[in-house]
Structure 1
Amino acid sequence: MFSGAYDRTFIDAHHVYGLLLYNRRSYVSGGALPRNYIGLTGRVGYDFKQRYMVEFNVARNGNDMFQKGERYGIFPAISIGWNLAEESFFKKLFPNIDLFKVRGSYGLVGTDNKVNKPVTEQEYSSSGGGPDFGVTSGLGQSGTMQFERALVNPYVTWEKERKTDIGLEINMFKSRLRLTADYFYNYRYDQLIAQNGTSALMGQSVPAVNNGETENRGVDGSISWRDTKKGFTYGITATISYAKNKIIYISESPNYPWQAQTGRPIGVGLYYKTDGLLTVNDFVDVEKGILKEGVAKTNFDNAGIPQPGNIKFVDMDGDGVITEADKTYADKPNLPTTTYGLGLSFGYKGVSLNLLFQGATDYSVYLGMLGGGNYRAMHMDRYTPANESQEYPRLSVMGGSGDRNIMSWGTSMSDYWLKDAYYVRLKSAELSWQMPEQWFKNIIIKGCRLYATGFNLFTISNINKYQQDAEIGCSFGRTYPNTINFNFGAQLSF
């Protein structure tokens, strides 16, 4: 690695700076081919009395996993800013504003994360045993067979993203009050994605191609206040982010138009659409499980005969039977659209308290309840003939699929178990005491700080009653949840 920097101010007004960074890395692991990376990054910037600012960056990165002609990518970026608070007219109009910076940036970035082997190398797999030569009774000479894996694509190149940002920064009242706001738009293209539109008659898997496109846009904002009054220091910082993404192009060949991913958000899944639970009013004959005309029949394995309390599915294609054709995409993704945070800090005479809250909303969580576990309190509110609750379907146990159906056979990825989610969590809290320095004047220890910290102390969420973590999402009970942790310690200085 090599780096060089330049920073100089002329005539107390013109500030010029620059940076040049060169790096080279090689990875060697076992019998795998070595991987080599090289990068050259440059930055040049100028500002006039912190009033007008411009900066230009460019990076040239290389990866020898690509073929010649595709190994290097050039990624430039430019940003400009104008601090109106340094203008004389602005100071007269708004004397309490210390910073009022309008800024914008546009740049191109690239990634090679999906390329960890030479794209031009054809791969093969071995199959033990293989055919017998000479006889058909299994007594002949056996040989190992070699299979050609997916075809190679020698034209794989860097995935790219155009990033645009327009922002505003405001500091007021000697920077005690700070505000920021940003609008961003990111367009990703040349994404390396699998090709799903090829007929199986080809007899071979096709390679990934750089033709995926997605976009992500949204706004970020923060506001903070920090002050000291008579030795008491306090601060508050609030942040919020709203972002929505969309798949512009993905290689797909859906069996039904409503199952296409193009144009939908990233992270939405296919689910059977539901309309509550079956009741006795949906049946011609309850004992025989004969449904009324217009009520779709299910076609799931081990579903058994329809019964009141089963999930009622919507027949999307109108053929009277619930099949894979009736799956459609959810309205909300499994990734939060809105995230927020709140930080609080207090300090007085060496004692300090810091709290961090975080949360998210406007997303969905799938309740992946597996069988084989204990019954829970919510099972008491299940559908029964005496309690025609629409909150939870009837309980059932069936061979073969009972492991995934403790709630009901309707757990076959239906939107009945897809819940709009939100949560607010006290992510961390720390209480500390910095002992007075005069206590350590005549000993080798010069200072001592005692502290107690806690993580994930409590969570407010509409998903809590299902005993699932709204931050982790669907885990089918097999993911270790966020735990409440406590730490106690002391920091000594000598």
Structure 2
Amino acid sequence: MLTKIIKITMINIKTRISSKSLFFCAIVMFNCLPLLAQKEHFIKGTVTDGSQPLQAISIYESSHPSNGTITDVNGMFSLHLINLKDSLIISGVGYIRQSILADTSSVLNIILKSESNGLNDVVVVGYGQKQKAITLTGAVSSVSGEVIRQSPAASLQNALAGRLPGLFAEQRSGQPGNDASQLQIRGISTYNSPSTQQPLLLVDDIVTSYSQLSQIDPNQVESVTILKDASTTAIYGVRGANGVIIVTTRRGQAGRPELTVTNETALQIPTNLPTLNSGYTTLRLLNEYTLQQGLNPGTLYPQFFSGNSLDYYKNNSDPYGHPDVDWWKTLMRNVSPQDRISMNVGGGSRKIRYNINLGYITQGGIFKNFTKGQGYNGNYFNNRYDFRSNIDINPTKSLHIREDLSGTFQITNSPNDLPWNNGGNTFQYLWNQQLSSFLYPLYNPDGSLGNVLNPQNSGATKPNPVANLTYSGYKRAFDYNINSVTAATQQLDFITKGLSLNALVSYQSDYQFQKSLTRSASQILTYYYNAVNGTYRPATTNLYRNGPLSRSSSPQGTSQQMNLQASLNYSHDFGNNHFDGMFLYQRNTQTANSSSTGGIPGNTLSIPLRIDYNFKEKYIIQVDATYSGSDRFGNGKQFGLFPAISAGWNIAKESFFKNSLPFINEFKLRASYGLTGSDNIGGYKYLYQSSYSGPNSNDYYFGATSNPVSGVSEGALGNTNITWEKDRKTDIGTDIKMFNNSLSITADYFHDYRYDILSARQSAPSVIGVSLPILNLGKVENQGYEVEVKYNGKAGAVTYFVDGQVSFAKNKILFMDEPAKPYPWLAQTGNSIGAVFGYTWTGKYYQNISDLFSNPMPTNGVPLKNIFPGGLILKDLNGDGILDKNDQGYLGTNQPEYTAGLSFGVSYKSFDLSVLLNGSFDYVINMQRGLTNYTERSNYASIPYVLGRWTPENASSATYPALDGGITSSVSSSFWYHSGNYVRLKNVEIGYLLPSSFAKRLHLKSFRVYASGYDLGLIYNALPVPIDPESVVSSSVGEYPQERIVNLGVTIGL
């Protein structure tokens, strides 16, 4: 039965792979597989880690890499040798590679050492440099590609949440092609726009964008590393202040070619969708609302309250005249598909090594297939094709050449669902309650689409969304991206041992354009059905057929990037003294055709110098100095020096420590201090120049009649003295390993002082008629800590691991030239970036008329017309007896200050299981919008949350203000801000690796089948309604819902 399943899976995979892809792989395999000699010798043995057998370990002949095998579940192997005098190469993921002489006279017993338990672990530290972890003095965290691939998420960023201490990840949308998480390293240190808070992103040391990062296939990734302190980011000069994320892609290893095919099929399931009250319940709330306003029931919509109208809704006895449509369920399907296939081939010899990857992923949309039969797909979807070829060539023993080529082609589709002239999309109308369930049916009795008369003029409703999604067309974005890298390293041992010369040139090109097929909502035919007399009228006057579809296509932007690097590197040991050095020249030129740049190239230049020294890996010091500049600033303000210093002391290498605490393998104390910068100023590229607009027809007014005269006017004043933002970073940390490196602890405390933040003066009056110039005046303090604890263990045939981490980052605005405030609680200075302000709710409601006069009154209007029983009683902070803007204080921050992750896993023989939990804490979310805010909006849809409203009958147990509680219920207050704390089951994977003996009978090297899940559910959600806290953290509503992914996959090695 299992054989039949595997054969069916192979057939499915083959049908997914195009003939071109198979042809390409065949060529690679044909060119890379050497011919086997005919004389063979038999050898066998066992591979263990010293106590337990190791499965899936690769063994092959060094001079004949194509002749190899892998160990079975008992760690055993057998191999026919071509050359008896040859050596065997033994390697496996997570273990140190070994080379031994072949011996056919006995059974070999080979012991591999784990990389994680060795002292030779290396980490990426930038500009192609790697450093032994034991000598690292900076704050660095990394995660392997193998761990990242446990997540079925389509975007690489989404697979990083909870994996790296110090990394804050926030996914705000589940839209296919636009679902990547926003990433921040150690929180926020500048109060400018979110784009200025982003870390520097590098793929194989080449700068990339967020969108390009999200398009990388996880099967291409070797590791992801984040650099967090000055000792690791100062070498990036004016672009290192927000931290650095480095993605390292997989490269080929010498050995026989290995072809791996991964196929995944997944279901995307929308999560945390709101449950709506019935039309009957909503109309009763509407009745209650109108009574509170002193009106007769049905004043707003009298046709729904005449006679037995409510009974029709209650009994659902008149679905056309008295409809009750749940638009969420009507529009969305329960699941949508996601499919991914990836092929990877790698191998080579000492002279040339290669790793080539081809990938494809498709994501379906959440809406039902309304455009079926229309000749086009108007649903959301995303299709992405990608490839990457990394080739390493050693033409001589001293010369290494690197040739990389990669590219992506992505098509992202969305409906043209912009109803009428009101802006927004269907999701915004859904979240904002504006698709009322009781106003019109989805379909009329004759099958025509229902609506109300003149819906474009109806403030309480929006036109039939099914009509829009069926006939309004689509908007389709195309993104083409190509990247190439050529690099060479020449060893200069003939000058001095350990010296090398490196050169690199890279080129990136990105082209985006959009095709649209659109029909305006006012040109879509829907009908108003009068259930009383059975007549139909077009909802739009004089429209009796759908209007024409319009086609258009337009470029959305192009960009090119050229990167040049040249460096001298040095690495040598002088007895117990080890030196490393790097002196590098780097120039980056970016050209983007956009309104802010106009196609003008932007340049950055850096000349970093790094010197590392360690004595016996016990005493370590590192010095960095980077001369860096950016053309975003004026002459004389473009360049600066960014120094950093760090040191470490591995106490575990001291003899007194070894003798006293032999179970501690490493106990390193480290500290760093330095200066970094940021030229990511956002907005207009050249703020040192004044801007002008015109000629415009109404710029100037002259004469007694003030007739307008066209002319050129000043926009914003430039400032030739501005320069980059600066960040002084301090980090103190420790790295501890014990119990034969099974337990590891890493902890860091950091303090960042960001100054010279670019912003305009707020204290100066705007009386000169133009925007004030930008100045280097802001100051922000950001500090916090990170702790990560990992444990790897074994119990018989069971291996397991636990990895827990927590990160805390809290910032405070020290200065932003804020105008003087009459009371200290009104000032943003001294509070966090992202601070929210409002009134403080006392926890009580106005119960009666007496309460209205015994509590502070609002200042605007007559009190009894602005507050009512059931309204929120707010705190009078200054005690003057009135409620006004001077009583609005700090309510919290909308940025999480804590993030945490907990991963654990276990493997037993051929089975493995891994689980990841993550969460964010200590921040607030505004619920005074959309479905959760029903005060003064009772003509819209409603949710059960509002049923706890205050009424005279439940005054003592109310959890929500009266539907018309007056102005105190409608202003921003602490009642509406709720804790956004959450813990979610982020990822689960369970897999089974087929025994190698069985796989061989199927002519396969390996076969692994697995099931995985992403965003499987919220374990804890502090919000009072079942809404995803990540998707509502921003100030707007209307995002595509988050989606759970349930995935089945298979990985086959050939």
* TM-score of the pair, normalised by structure 2: 0.43
From the superposition, tell whether residues 254 and 272 of structure 1 become closer, same or farther in structure 2 (CA, over 3 Å): farther
Q: Secondary structure at the match of 1:197?
A: coil
Distance 1:268 1:301, change over 3 A: farther
Alignment check: 8 A CA contact 1:99 1:169 kept: yes
Please list the CA deviations of residues 261-309 of structure 1 after superposition, one character each: whole Å capped at 9, or x if unmatched.
222222211212222343335x24xxxxx93244323638999442111
Q: CA deviation at 1:136?
A: 9.6
- After superposition, residues 162-173 of structure 1 pair within 5 angstroms as 162-173=728-739
Moved more, 229-238 or 361-370: 361-370
Secondary structure, counterpart of 2:975 in structure 1: helix
Matches within 5 A, 1:290-439: 291-297=852-858, 299=860, 304-330=865-891, 332-370=892-930, 371=937, 374-388=941-955, 389-396=957-964, 410-439=969-998
Task: Say which one has the larger Rg.
Answer: 2
Matches of 1:147 and 1:410, distance apart in 2: 44
Other structure's SS at 2:657 match? helix
Pairwise CA RMSD of aligned residues?
A: 2.8
Of 412-421 and 215-224, the range deviating more from structure 2:
412-421
Distance 1:475 1:269, change over 3 A: closer
Looking at structure 1, the residues matched to 654 and 1012 of structure 2 have their Cα atoms a distance apart, in angstroms, of 46
Corresponding residue SS for 1:228: strand
* CA–CA distance in structure 2, aligned partners of residues 47 and 88 of structure 1: 17
Greater share of helix: 2
Q: Does 1:233 align with 2:799?
A: yes
Of 686, 698, 701, which residue of structure 2 is paired with 1:118? Answer: 686
Q: Which moved more, 1:294-303 or 1:76-85?
A: 294-303
CA, structure 1 residues 411+333, in 2 after alignment: closer, same or farther (shift >3 Å)? same
Tell me the equivalent position of 1:402.
Answer: none
Is 1:486 matched with 2:1052? no
Indicate if the aligned counterparts of 1:432 and 1:450 stay in contact, CA closer than 8 A.
yes
Instruction: Give the whole-Å Cα distance in 2 for the aligned partners of 1:145 and 1:317.
Output: 50
Residue 71 of structure 1: how far off its partner (Å): 0.4
Partner of 1:4: 568
Q: How far has the Cα of 1:80 moved from its partner? A: 0.5
Q: Is the 8 A contact 2:668 2:735 kept in 1?
A: yes
Q: How far off is 1:120 after superposition?
A: 3.0
The change in CA–CA distance for 1:381 and 1:43 in structure 2 (over 3 A counts) is same
Match of 1:404 in 2: none
Tell me, in whole angstroms, the C-alpha distance in 1 between the residues paired with 2:762 and 2:1048.
54
Q: Please tell me whether the aligned partners of residues 735 and 746 of structure 2 are also in contact (alpha carbons under 8 angstroms).
A: yes
Superposed CA deviations along residues 58-78 of structure 1, whole A, max 9, x for unmatched, are 222211121111101211111
**What CA distance in whole angstroms lies between the structure 2 residues aligned with 1:380 and 1:293?**
28
Distance 2:701 2:943 in 1: 60
Q: Separation in 2 of the partners of 1:411 and 1:434? A: 59
**Offset from partner CA, 1:317-373 (integer Å, 9 cap, x none):** 44544322322222x322223322111111122321111111222222221332575
Structure 1 position 41, deviation (Å): 1.8
Are the equivalent residues in 1 in contact too, given 2:813–2:831 (CA < 8 A)? yes
| Partner AA of 1:292 in structure 2 | F
Distance 1:300 1:365 in 2: 30
Residue range with higher mean Cα deviation, 24-33 or 223-232: 24-33
Matched, 1:108 2:671: no
1:159 CA drift (Å): 0.7
The 1:482/1:256 distance shift into structure 2, 3 A limit, reads farther
Q: Deviations over 1:28-81 (max 9, x none)?
A: 233342211111222110111111111111222211121111101211111111
- Is 2:761 the partner of 1:201? no
3-state SS, counterpart of residue 578 of structure 2:
strand
Structure 2 CA distance for aligned equivalents of residues 271 and 110 of structure 1: 34
Q: Tell me the alpha carbon deviations over residues 136-190 of structure 1, each in whole angstroms, 9 at most, x when there is no partner.
A: 999x9x8643221111111111111111111111111100011112111111111
Residue 747 of structure 2 corresponds to 181
In structure 2, the residue matched to 1:211 is 777
What is the CA-CA distance between 1:191 and the residue it aligns to?
1.0
1:33 to 600, 603, 617: 600
Give yes or no for contact 1:188–1:215 (8 Å, CA) kept in 2: yes
Opposite residue 1027 of structure 2, the aligned amino acid is Q
Q: Distance in 1 between matches of 2:837 and 2:710?
A: 41
Aligned-partner Cα distance in 1 for 2:635–2:705 = 51
Q: Is contact 1:224-1:238 (8 Å) kept? A: yes
CA contact (8 A) 1:37 1:63 kept: yes
Q: Contact conserved, 2:979 with 2:1023, CA < 8 A, in 1?
A: no
User: Are the equivalent residues in 2 in contact too, given 1:297–1:320 (CA < 8 A)?
Assistant: no
| 8 A contact 1:278–1:310 mirrored in 2 | yes
Quote how far apart the aligned CAs of 1:471 are: 3.2
Match of 1:42 in 2: 609
Paired letter, 1:149: G
**Alignment length (residue pairs):** 475
Matched residue type, 2:964: S
What's the offset of the Cα at 1:6?
A: 1.9
Change (3 A) 1:133 1:189: closer
Structure-2 change in CA distance of 1:134 and 1:92 (3 Å): closer
User: Match of 2:823?
Assistant: 257
What's 1:24 paired with?
Answer: 587
Q: Judging changes above 3 Å, is the alpha-carbon distance between structure 1 residues 387 and 146 closer, same or farther for their aligned structure 2 residues?
A: same
Amino acid at match of 1:195: R
- SS state at 2:629 partner: strand
Question: How many angstroms apart in 1 are the aligned matches of 2:962 and 2:1020?
Answer: 25
How far apart in 1 are the matches of 2:802 and 2:699?
73
Q: Tell me by how many angstroms 1:462 deviates.
A: 4.3
**In structure 1, the residue corresponding to 2:698 is in which secondary structure?**
coil
Distance 2:847 2:768 in 1: 51
Residue 467 (structure 1) shift: 2.8
- Verify: 1:465 aligned to 2:988, yes or no: no
1:72 and 2:639 are equivalent in the alignment: yes
Counterpart CA distance in 2 for 1:74 and 1:444 is 60
Please state whether the residue corresponding to 1:269 is helix, strand or coil.
strand
2:362 matched residue in structure 1: none
Give the partner amino acid of 1:315. D
Q: Is the 8 A contact 1:368 1:475 kept in 2?
A: no
Which sections of structure 1, spanning at least 5 residues, go unmatched? 285-289, 399-407
Q: Cα distance, 1:481 vs. partner?
A: 3.9
Look up the SS of the partner of 1:415 in the other structure: coil
Distance 1:268 1:208 in 2: 22
Change (3 A) 1:254 1:445: farther
3-state SS, counterpart of residue 386 of structure 1: helix
- Aligned letter for 1:433? Y
Structure 2 unmatched runs, 5+: 1-564, 931-936
Cα pair 1:367 1:474 within 8 Å, conserved: no
TM-superposed deviation, 1:387: 0.8
Cα displacement string for residues 386-410 of structure 1 (whole angstroms, at most 9, x for unaligned residues):
1113421011399xxxxxxxxx872
Instruction: Tell me: CA distance 1:217–1:132, structure 2 relative to 1, closer, same or farther (3 Å).
Output: closer
Residue 222 in 1 paired to residue 806 in 2?
no
Distance 1:137 1:105, change over 3 A: closer
Relative distance call for 1:437 and 1:47 in structure 2 (3 A) is: same
Q: Distance in 2 between matches of 1:423 and 1:64?
A: 43
Q: Does 1:61 align with 2:628?
A: yes
> Residues 392, 487 of structure 1: CA spacing in aligned structure 2 closer, same or farther, 3 A cutoff?
same
